[in-house]
Structure 1
Amino acid sequence: MRPLFRQTLLFLLPLLAACSNLSEVKVTNYLHPYRIDINQGNYLTQDMVAQLKPGQSKEQVRFILGSPLIVDSFHGGDRWDYLYRLERGTGDVQTRRLVVFFADGKLSRVGGDVAAGSAADLAAPAAATAKVINIDGAPAAAK
């Protein structure tokens, strides 16, 4: 039993020593783990912004857009900030910002990078604006 152990040990030691020179090769260079998409904040659509009209109350705006992420308490709560951040697993980051201003408890103006949808977009049925994506590459059949 002893000679077999020694022969195996003498065979494996040079192999293990050779593996110590592979310090520059890293497994993370070849493996790419799955990273999830991270959504933070209030997701706002053009349809939601298009429903806002000057003179609406704070309750109506909160019903349409949801609770604001930031309420400016220094100016009596007359400014609401809606922020949205999407960080994709690939590293791409998308941010959106919408600021709603009130005067005397009524909506006075809206600013930010989320534009309201046009009247034609809002009047079109949802089925007409839906997109069909084929995975197999064949052309989509029109409905």
Structure 2
Amino acid sequence: MQFKSVIVATVFALSLTACSTVNKIVYRIDVPQGNYLEAATLSQVKVGMNAQQVQYLLGTPVLIDPFNNNSWYYIFLQQKAYQEPEQHSAIITFDKHGIVTKIDLDKPLPDDIKPKINNVIIEKSTKHQKNFWQFWK
């Protein structure tokens, strides 16, 4: 008798989990890799800056071209939860004196990294309502 109830409970539990309509129930964190590139920071890099200034703004590059030390590669890869990974690459090219001559960005960086500002205006009510316990007002 007890064996039957265990079997029925097991079959019932397995049938509930097998018919689940909830997809992607396991939490996945956002995984950023490489140099964290922001549109505001990258826009500060200008032609004519030296290598130290670029490194101060963007950090150490992920890759320096081994055959030509005049190219720095900044690569940013981010995978948000169950979405496809998104990669952005910036290539900074220097002349032989270490001055920036060219800035290449493979695709525009998203501006949604900045927090949204709540522009809701809360207005104070000008009507004064009397409550029954505040009869003196």
Shared fold per TM-score greater than 0.5? yes
User: Structure 1 residues 19 and 103 mapped into 2: Cα distance closer, same or farther (>3 Å)?
Assistant: same
Q: 1:141 aligns with which of 121, 128, 136?
A: 121
Compute the displacement of 1:38 (Å).
0.5
1:8 aligns with 2:2: yes
- Cα distance per residue 1:100-139 (max 9 Å; x no partner): 00111211100013659xxxxxxxxxxxx97324xxxxx7
Q: Retained in 2: the 8 A contact 1:72–1:79?
A: yes
- For residues 112-131 of structure 1, what are the structure 2 equivalents within 5 Å? 112-113=105-106, 131=116
In structure 1, what is the equivalent of residue 79 of structure 2? 87
Where structure 2 has 5 or more consecutive residues not aligned to the other structure, the ranges are 123-137
- For residues 30-49 of structure 1, what are the structure 2 equivalents within 5 Å? 30=22, 32-49=25-42
Amino acid in the other structure paired with 1:92: E
Percent identical pairs in the alignment equals 24
Structure 1 residue matching 2:60: 3-state secondary structure: coil
Name the structure where helix makes up a greater proportion of residues.
1
CA distance in 2, matches of 1:13, 1:46: 60
CA distance in 2, matches of 1:112, 1:55: 17
Structure 1 residue matching 2:67: 3-state secondary structure: helix
Where structure 1 has 5 or more consecutive residues not aligned to the other structure, the ranges are 1-6, 117-128, 134-138
TM-score with structure 2 length normalisation? 0.66
User: Structure 1 residues 52 and 14 mapped into 2: Cα distance closer, same or farther (>3 Å)?
Assistant: closer
Amino acid in the other structure paired with 2:79: E
The number of residue pairs the alignment matches comes to 115
TM-score with structure 1 length normalisation? 0.63
User: Structure 1 residues 12 and 74 mapped into 2: Cα distance closer, same or farther (>3 Å)?
Assistant: same
User: Structure 1 residues 80 and 33 mapped into 2: Cα distance closer, same or farther (>3 Å)?
Assistant: same
In structure 2, what is the equivalent of residue 78 of structure 1? 70
Amino acid in the other structure paired with 2:34: G
